[in-house]
Each structure stands twice: as structure tokens, then as C-alpha cells.
A and B are shown apart, each in its own frame.
Chain A
Amino acid sequence: MRLLTHNMLSSNIKGVVNGFPLRIEAEKVVEKTVEMNGEFLKKMFEKIDWKAFVDASRAMGPEEADCSMLDSDEFLNRFHHALLELHLEEGALVCPETGRRFPVNKGIPNMLLHEDEDTDGEDSKDGLTDIWKVGVFSVTG
């Protein structure tokens, strides 16, 4: 699992308000070389939660990513390396609120929830979603 994915992933357990970021417990980290694409990195930079990203890259190894101008090649290289080339192979992700461990095996995090952790969409009260609901309900019904 790359840090790109880690930065998008949050805990989905019932009752957890802020399940992001998941803490990384790294046991084995591998590197795979990927072709660099500056445009993609710049796009992703807007979406990345920087603090979580820096914490995650620290947890993965000694290498630290620091914030500087996006235009410098040096920065882009390091950003690219940390975001797309570092893979968490074995270890775990830990939910920041409940401390629940999601084990990572062969690079695949196991995000399956137990039955009592399952939200089943009950707490999906979104202001925006409700507005849509009202608008669409009368039409489809």
C-alpha cells in the first residue's frame, strides 16, 4: 500500500467521528520505482492532507518530506518517492480514536469490520445529502 492510498483512507467504524489519519505501524517497507509525472503530483498536492502525509512518511522510514516550493525538482522527486514508491508491505493501520488495528498483509490492508462495528449507513446524515434526497425522492417515488 502506498502513502497515496494511506492518505485517502480513514477508519470506518461505527461511532468514530474522525477516523483520519490512521497511524502506521510499519514492519516491512519496500520500494518500487514508478515513472514520475509532475502534473499528477501537483494535482495530488492539493488533495493530500500534509500533516498526515509527513507523519506517515516518518513512520515508514527515516526519510522526511519537507514542504517547499512545488516547482523545485528536488522537492518533486522526494514527494514522488514518498507518495508513490514507498509501499507498506507488512504492518498495521491503527484507528486514531478506537485503537482498532487493521492488519496489513502482503501490502493489502484488511479493512473488513466486525458486525458490531458496521455502520450500515445509519449515521450518514449529511446536510447536502438530505437536500438531494428531498429533491429526488418525489421524482423517483
Chain B
Amino acid sequence: MASRPEVVAPPEIFYDDAEARKYTSSSRIVQIQATLSERALELLALPDDDVPKLLLDIGCGSGLSGETLSENGHHWIGLDISASMLNVALEREVEGDLLLGDMGQGLGLRPGVIDGAISISAVQWLCNADKSSHNPRLRLKAFFTSLYKCLANGARAVFQVYPENIDQRELILNAAMHAGFAGGIVVDFPHSSKRRKEFLVLKCGQRSVNASMLSRSKNEDGESCSDEDSEDEENQTVCISDRHRPRKKPKKNNKSGKGKEWLLRKKEQMRKRGNVVPPDTKYTGRKRKDRF
């Protein structure tokens, strides 16, 4: 089995009945998913007022991440493209409502109604073009724009992603920024290749992001520490230190000393040395026409 399911088959085909059951019966995956969703919920930074929120779980699969949301008392709507995964979710009697849909086609929700969105290991699927009509850039754009619309002002969206490489991470981040989101990437356990987890934390509405919250990512000891990567992604500024440098040096006038007389004198010199020199004519030392 390849290490990345994205390269094997499209999600609705990869997660067939057998794979969906396997996925949900693996206690390791269940545990990882629960940890990830809890961390995502933490990063979502919902107001601490004990009022249940209406959340969105994008790529909810068999509802493993939704269970964490239910445990915390929230209502949620789950979206997934794999019918088999949703069937498993039905069997497990998850509390949220399930939708069969493709996030790359946009979400189709009313504006400003959702209090927050989480997505565990799903967005990287959008970077693949599984059909000829798919364009990852457009699908990412459709997804993030529709998500931006349906989120309430000040709401957050947290995506746990496994980008394949730097380009993919940039593609996702750029699509999110273009849709209007502010935010950045939080990296947990940056020094461990296995435990390393990336969270894309996006905020809707206000431009200012609580930087202190974002830049705190978990370290090996479970303590919070500021991380270089996430800082760089957040504070994207354009350096303008060279602004006052003159664009071009003024051109020197090299014409002095290279007129017709200078040329004739040089030719005479060469002739005296016995070199073959073209004869002096009316064309000698004359400037070429502009159109040459």
C-alpha cells in the first residue's frame, strides 16, 4: 500500500465499503483522529460561554472527528464525498447531520450561519485532479470562497492537513488567503517527522489575528513554544529597504574621443604597422542609420 492514499485513487473510490470499515475499526486511527480533532477544536478558540455552537466538519468521514465535537456539546454538520464512509457513520449513530457532497464544488450553505469549521486530513485531497474537469486551483478557490461566505463574522476554521510538499502547502494557503481568510499555519511537534502535524488556522472577518494564540504550537514536552515556521507564514511582509536605491545608473557619455578624426588617425597607425586596413571612404566613421 502506498504511503499516501491521495495518490492511490480519488476519495470516493479509495474509501469504499471495505476501506471505510478498516479505517474506523483501527483503534490507532481512531485515537489519532480523536487527538487531532481535540487539538483542532482547541485551535478553533470558541467563546467560553457553554452555549453549543453549530460547527461544520469538512471531510467528516465516518464521524470520528464529529464525535469529539458532540462530546463537547456542539451541534455539527458533516460533509463527505464517500458514501461508504457516511454509511459507517450512520451505523455508529453519530449525532451530527451528514451530507454527501464534494467540497471542491463549494459548500452550498447560507451566508454567515456557521460558528466554526474543522477538517481533519481532508483538504489535501483537493490538490489532486481526479477527473478531466477538475482544476485543483479552481476547486480550492470554490471551497474556500464558499466556506468564507457561510462562516459567521469572527469565526475560525481549522484544517489539519498533510501537504505533500511545499508547493502544495503554498497552493492551499494562497487559495485561503485569496478567499479573504487571515491566518497561518501552526506546526505541532516540528522536530519529529512522525508526530509532526500541521494545522491551517484561518479566521474569517477581521484582519487581525490573535498572533499569540497562533504562534503557540506544541513542543515535544507538550509545552507551548513559538515556532519559526508558523511565524514566517503569518508575518508575511514585503521588504522595502531598497526602495530609495536609484533604478539605473546614469549612462556615461562615451562619444568623446571617438569621432571621425580619431578613427582616421587609428587607421593610419595600423597602416604604418603593415596591417590590412580598409580604405578611407565617405562612409568611414559615419553613424549608422537608426533603423539598422
- Chain A residues close to B by CB (< 8 Å): 1-2, 4-5, 7-12, 19-20, 34, 37, 39-40, 43-44, 47, 49, 84, 106-113, 115, 118-122, 124, 126, 128-129, 132-133, 135-140
- In this complex, what residue of A is CB-closest to B77? A5
Within 8 Å by CB of A111, from B95, B101, B139, B178, lies: B101
Q: Quick check: A124 and B141 within 8 Å, CB to CB? A: yes
Q: Quick check: B133 and A5 within 8 Å, CB to CB? A: no
Query: CB-CB contacts of B83-100 with A at 8 A, as 1s and 0s?
Result: 100110010000101111
Q: Quick check: B90 and A124 within 8 Å, CB to CB? A: no
CB<8 Å pairs between A and B, sample of 15:
A7-B110, A8-B113, A9-B108, A10-B110, A107-B97, A108-B100, A110-B100, A118-B133, A119-B106, A120-B142, A121-B146, A126-B149, A132-B180, A137-B178, A140-B174
Q: Quick check: B110 and A12 within 8 Å, CB to CB? A: no
Q: Quick check: A140 and B86 within 8 Å, CB to CB? A: no
Q: Tell whether A106 pairs with B113 under 8 Å between CB atoms, given A112-B100, A112-B102, A124-B142.
A: no
Question: Which residues of the partner chain A approach B142 to less than 8 Å between Cβ atoms?
Answer: 119-121, 124
Contacts of B99-150 to chain A: CB distance below 8 A = 99-102, 105-110, 112-114, 131, 133, 135, 138-139, 141-143, 145-146, 148-150
Q: Is B51 an interface residue (CB 8 A)?
A: yes
Contacts of B62-80 to chain A: CB distance below 8 A = 73, 75, 77
Question: Which residues of the partner chain A approach B51 to less than 8 Å between Cβ atoms?
Answer: 37, 39-40, 43
Q: Tell whether A4 pairs with B97 under 8 Å between CB atoms, given A43-B51, A138-B238.
A: yes
Q: Is B185 an interface residue (CB 8 A)?
A: no
Q: Is B50 an interface residue (CB 8 A)?
A: yes
Please, how many angstroms separate the alpha-carbon atoms of A118 and B145 in the complex? 14
Q: Is B54 an interface residue (CB 8 A)?
A: yes
Q: Quick check: B237 and A4 within 8 Å, CB to CB? A: no
Looking at chain A's contact residues, the main secondary structure is mixed
Q: Quick check: A39 and B97 within 8 Å, CB to CB? A: no
Known pairs A5-B77, A8-B150, A112-B81 / 8 extra A-B pairs, C-beta < 8 Å: A8-B77, A121-B138, A124-B142, A126-B148, A137-B177, A140-B174, A140-B177, A140-B236
Expressed in whole angstroms, the minimum distance between the Cβ of B151 and any Cβ of chain A is 12
Number of residues of chain B lying within 8 A (CB) of chain A: 52
Residue from B54, B109, B110, B237 with most neighbouring chain A CB atoms (10 Å): B110
Please, how many angstroms separate the alpha-carbon atoms of A4 and B174 in the complex? 32
Query: CB-CB contacts of B173-189 with A at 8 A, as 1s and 0s?
Result: 11001111010000000
Within 8 Å by CB of B99, from A4, A34, A109, A124, lies: A109
- Chain B residues close to A by CB (< 8 Å): 50-52, 54, 73, 75, 77, 81, 83, 86-87, 90, 95, 97-102, 105-110, 112-114, 131, 133, 135, 138-139, 141-143, 145-146, 148-150, 173-174, 177-180, 182, 207, 236-238
Residue from A37, A40, A115, A137 with most neighbouring chain B CB atoms (10 Å): A40
Q: Quick check: A129 and B108 within 8 Å, CB to CB? A: no
Q: Quick check: A107 and B90 within 8 Å, CB to CB? A: yes
- In this complex, what residue of B is CB-closest to A136? B177
- In this complex, what residue of B is CB-closest to A20? B110
Expressed in whole angstroms, the minimum distance between the Cβ of B11 and any Cβ of chain A is 12
Please, how many angstroms separate the alpha-carbon atoms of A49 and B114 in the complex? 14
- In this complex, what residue of A is CB-closest to B137? A121
Q: Quick check: B90 and A12 within 8 Å, CB to CB? A: no
Expressed in whole angstroms, the minimum distance between the Cβ of A2 and any Cβ of chain B is 5
Q: Quick check: B52 and A118 within 8 Å, CB to CB? A: no
Q: Quick check: A124 and B97 within 8 Å, CB to CB? A: no
- In this complex, what residue of A is CB-closest to B79? A111
Expressed in whole angstroms, the minimum distance between the Cβ of B185 and any Cβ of chain A is 13
Please, how many angstroms separate the alpha-carbon atoms of A132 and B206 in the complex? 10
Question: Which residues of the partner chain B approach A10 to less than 8 Å between Cβ atoms?
Answer: 108-110
Q: Quick check: A120 and B139 within 8 Å, CB to CB? A: yes
Within 8 Å by CB of A115, from B77, B131, B178, lies: B131
Please, how many angstroms separate the alpha-carbon atoms of A60 and B93 in the complex? 22
